Amino acid sequence: MSALSILHRACLRLALLPLPLAPLRAPLRSSSLPRPLRLPRRTAMSSAASRMSHIAAAAASGESNQPAAASGLGQEDDDLSLGYRLPPKEIQDIVDAPPLPVLSFSPSKDKILFLKRRALPPLSDLAKPEEKLAGVRIDGHSNTRSRMSSYTGIGIHKLMDDGTLGPEKVVHGYPEGAKINFVTWSHDGRNLSFSVRVEEEDNKISKLRVWIADVESGEARPLFKSPDIYLNAIFDSFVWVDNSTLLVCTIPVSRGALPQKPSVPSGPKIQSNETKNVVQVRTFQDLLKDEYDADLFDYYATSQLMLVSLDGTVKPMGPPAVYTSIDPSPDDKYLMLSSIHRPYSYIVPCGRFPKRVELWTADGKFIRELCDLPLAEDIPIATSSVRKGKRSIYWRPDKPSTLYWVETQDGGDAKVEVSPRDIVYMENAEPINGEQPEILHKLDLRYGGISWCDESLALVYESWYKTRKTRTWVVAPDKKDVSPCILFDRSSEDVYSDPGSPMLRRTAMGTYVIAKVNKQDESTYLLLNGMGATPEGNVPFLDLFDINTGSKERIWESDKEKYFETVVALMSDKIDGDLPLDQLKILTSKESKTENTQYYLQIWPEKKQVQITNFPHPYPQLASLYKEMIRYQRKDGVQLTAKLYLPPGYDQSKDGPLPCLVWSYPGEFKSKDAAGQVRGSPNEFSGIGATSPLLWLARGFAILSGPTIPIVGEGDVEANDSYVEQLVTSAEAAVEEVVRRGVVHPDKIAVGGHSYGAFMTANLLAHAPHLFCCGIARSGAYNRTLTPFGFQNEDRTLWEATNTYVEMSPFMSANKIKRPILLIHGEQDNNSGTLTMQSDRFFNALKGHGVQSRLVILPFESHGYSARESIMHVLWESDRWLQKYCVNGTSKADSETAADGESKTLAASGGGAAPEGLSSDGFSSIPRSLL
């Protein structure tokens, strides 16, 4: 039977499956909070984790220190009307702890902001109305992106000469309880700008206003004197033009009333392709549906630009438009304004709408149009394909007002063979006497960015995903007699050969360029900051690199015996020109398996180390957990790694083998050698997020985190054509290793994952039932025929690789799943490919074959989960599933026999055993011996 016939039968069967009645789906919001420096979450102090025997006894009896309505594992758990539940207290205590602040350094590196955050938001925040328009989710009341996270306060600390922090100065003057966003320093570091919004009646959030704070006094005030000027933060928000002026995207005062949806449509919704254009797009979500949606998008997204001084002087700039970015030149004389405009599209998000880029003076005079790109509905789905025309238009950071950009020579289609493929151009803001753009460099791979230094040095990057090739070129931007040369030519998969990235310093103009180091000789030295991947794990480094000879001198390296340290930033960047080596100062982070991240100054020439933070341990109850990076081998010889965690106080001789949760996410590679390289460090601190599998350490589980599951396609072979086989052999190797060690019970191993990890989980339960007792799959896609124009890194279409799409889809193997599987999905998932319908239909397929399964749809949640109620319920559902089907479940051998008999009785074909070698729906089954 052909693959297309199989596909037709499967789709027909799917159409006949009953769909469950679902509640009305409310909109979701998407988070959009830039964080300068991520820090681990802090958790409240609590008692140490219980011994294994106590945990097992509590789990068996249903004791979890929860309200009565949320405890126990009885029949009431299957009543979906019981509402939100709470996980056991040992998990709650970790998740509910207040988070640590985010750090932000001043331009001169002499002050640090502590941006304070709240814990998990309530579900009521997510439940507020929103509009889904052109791929953007909008809070119409506040006229910003919906579900924005926020800061609750700003503290300012001086960084003293000895590296210690001075006393905190709290920014004050704004309304109590305000939500703060978009915190930015002025160029001179004397002022802060930020947005403020407050709670109003009916659980609504006010529109955003821009505030200014004096750094010395901490006193804050509104930027605009008029209370009727509000920030429009749908796209860009505001930017410092100079030390006393900001350019702000505001809601037009003359905007008028909200467009009203017509009670009777003006006509049918029509899309046409009578011109036979080839337009292939992935499964984008939240697209415009009709002209009313387009009007609504214009209403919310249109901004009036305002130039406003710190003294309150306001000047409108340009016409109202849908501005997506505002970018001052380094010398503050020009403004590059990007906007999108009609005609809009119903099949692609706003990032592909027609785009106009204009140049204006800083005082509001139009100069010229840089480009006006047409609607880009036809960007090929092949990885490394791009939009036609000028793209990546930026200011050179080492020049006052020079623009650079790139233009494709292959029509944007990665499948077209052409040389060169991309050309990088430069041009002055105001060309003189018809001056034409200058070619900086021609590239045969796809352009990947530039690190600028000065007129004699810049590094140009190019790469090609299909071959994983990446190159770094050395160019002299303003010296025509110097030819470009290749500095590095390597595989992007080969982490062992990664030389690191150049460190940047701040210029007098406030931009960032490659830092040159003076070693008192004639050579030019750069600082290369790398992760230092080795077969023993990452050992981050800082190299002094001679750009002329390629020689390296290691001037700093992480302590690889106990700690994992990384270089975060260059702190000695206050002067222009070369940086003397003996004046070098860097910011590093330092952590270990049991010590959470702290920040240090490293000061040359003595390399003195000064600790500047002293954050408490975020979850002291797990401080003594056991962590090991383990290594093992797949049957085909590929080297694999994983992080094995064991609970605090675990004693193998007394406690015996533990139940285990395996949590992972597959990755594609072009070579077995690259797939087998070690990534990560055995000394990294174990950060635990709100839905992390490591939470079950507090419940007495062993956790196998991130076991590598490489899907390798060498040469012209496509990796996904042997996806199932490689997936199963990787999982077999991981399970065999932890069982061999004696710390994991072979019949009590659960598997789980999120997104592509959920796809992995369902496939493992279908094709490797001998390995796992149950599974947890969150926000996954299970039927690849619903994503026919590519998924993940697969850029062939369903019609080009029909067998691959069908064989990779666990939906097509729902009849083979014999283990209990828990499906969880956000009701408003906006991720491309993982529509909520994927879990709905997969669950129906599982029910149709009598599989023990449960589907949990989280109201208002997107691809990731945000609200406290949702997260706690996810943890309760997951814990219940693990206790019932892993800790207290029957052995896999017993359940397999029962399940096999049951599946024959409940087969969708009407009952009866299938012929040998075929499943009940006619698909070829793969003998376990081949897996």
Question: Which residues are part of the catalytic machinery?
Answer: 755, 829, 863
Examine the pLDDT at 71 and tell me if it is beyond 80: no
CB 853 within 8 A of CB 821: yes
What's the rounded Cα separation, in Å, for the pair 331 and 508?
10
**Where do the domains of the chain lie?**
382-494, 628-887
**Length of the chain counted residue by residue:** 931
72 near 62, Cβ under 8 Å?
Answer: yes
Residue 316: pLDDT over 70: yes
Local confidence band at 892 (pLDDT 50, 70, 90 cut-offs): low
Contact assessment for residue 561 and residue 681, using Cβ atoms and an 8 Å cutoff: no
The burial class, CB within 10 Å (0-12 / 13-18 / 19+), for 668 is buried
Which segments within 416-524 are labelled E, that is strand? 422-428, 438-443, 446-454, 457-464, 469-475, 485-491, 501-502, 504-506, 512-514, 516-518
Rounded Cα–Cα distance for residues 20 and 823 (Å): 14
What gap in Å lies between CA 868 and CA 818, rounded to an integer? 33
Is residue 76 over pLDDT 50? no
**Is residue 327 classed as helix, strand or coil in its secondary structure?**
strand
Tens-digit pLDDT profile for residues 12-65? 333 333 333 233 233 333 333 333 333 333 333 333 333 333 333 333 333 333
Say which residues have a Cβ less than 8 Å from residue 175's Cβ, sequence separation at least 6: 196, 198
Residue 422's DSSP bridge partners are 408, 443
Instruction: Determine the residue type at 873.
Output: H
Let me know: does 774 contact 821? Beta carbons within 8 Å: yes
The mean-pLDDT minimum among 213-217, 461-465, 885-889, 891-895 falls in 891-895
**What's the longest Cα–Cα distance across the chain?**
85
Cβ neighbors of 522 (< 8 A, separation 6 or more) are none
How many C-beta atoms surround the C-beta of residue 848 within 10 A?
18
Average pLDDT, stretch 760-789?
97
So what CATH class is 628-887? alpha beta
> Region 303-325: what's the mean pLDDT?
97
Min mean pLDDT across 457-466, 869-878, 886-895 is at 886-895
User: Which tokens is 168 given?
Assistant: 């905190």
| pLDDT mean over 111-129 | 93
The three-state DSSP-derived secondary structure of 63-129 is CCCCCHHHCCCCHHHHCCCCCCCCCCHHHHHHHCCCECCEEEECCCCCEEEEEEECCCCCHHHHCCC
Tell me what the mean pLDDT of segment 891-906 comes to.
Answer: 43
Per-residue pLDDT of 195-205, as tens digits, reads 999 988 877 88
Per mean pLDDT, which range of 96-110, 496-510, 567-581 is the poorest? 567-581
N-term to C-term CA, the chain: 23
- If you search the block for the tokens 């160029």, which residue do you land on? 187
SS (H, E, C) 503-572: CEEECCCCCEEECEEECCCCCCEEEEEECCCCCCCCCCEEEEEECCCCCEEEEEECCCCCEEEEEEEECC
Q: Model's pTM, two decimal places?
A: 0.87
Q: What is the mean pLDDT of the chain?
A: 88
Q: What is the DSSP string of 186-207?
A: -TTSSEEEEEEE-B-GGG-BPP
pLDDT at 362 over 70: yes
Nearest-10 Cα torsion for 258, 259, 264, 269: -130
Q: What are phi and psi of 718, to 5 degrees?
A: -85, 130
**pLDDT bucket at 575, cuts 50 / 70 / 90:** low
- How confident is the model at residue 79, as a pLDDT? 59
Pairing of strands 504-506, 512-514: antiparallel
Q: Taking residues 746-765, what's their average pLDDT?
A: 98
Give the per-residue pLDDT at 98: 85
- SS3 category, 19: coil
What is the model's pLDDT at position 931? 23
Q: What is the pLDDT of residue 1?
A: 47
Between 875 and 896, where is the model more confident? 875
In the predicted model, is pLDDT for residue 527 greater than 50?
Answer: yes
Exposure string (b/e) for 102-122, b if CB count within 10 Å is 16 or more?
bbbbbbebebbbbbbbeebbe
**DSSP state letter for 248:** E
Chain centroid to CA 720: 23
Say which residue, 42 or 132, is predicted with more confidence.
Answer: 132
Nearest residue to 630 via CA among 621, 619, 641, 639: 641
Higher pLDDT pick, 788 / 265: 788
Res 150: pLDDT: 95
Position 269 scores a pLDDT of: 85
The number of beta carbons lying within 10 Å of the beta carbon of residue 859 is 19
Whether the CB-CB separation of 675 and 712 falls below 8 Å is answered with: yes
Which of 516, 512, 368, 522 has its CA nearest to residue 434?
368
How far apart are alpha carbons 24 and 22 in whole angstroms? 7
Which amino acid is present at 716? D
Helix, strand, coil percent content, the chain, rounded in steps of 5: 20, 30, 50
pLDDT of residue 832 exceeding 50: yes
Distance CA(657)–CA(745), nearest Å, equals: 5
- CA–CA distances in Å: residue 140 to residues 297, 344, 729: 10, 20, 50
Structure tokens that stand for 365 in this block = 């005079």
Q: Report the pLDDT averaged over residues 773-784.
A: 98
Please report which confidence band the pLDDT of residue 907 belongs to, taking 50, 70 and 90 as the band edges. very low
* Positive or negative torsion for Cα 752, 758, 764, 766: positive
Structure confidence by residue, pLDDT tens digits, 364-391? 999 999 999 999 999 999 999 999 999 9
Of 259, 234, 256, 238, nearest to 247 by C-alpha is 238
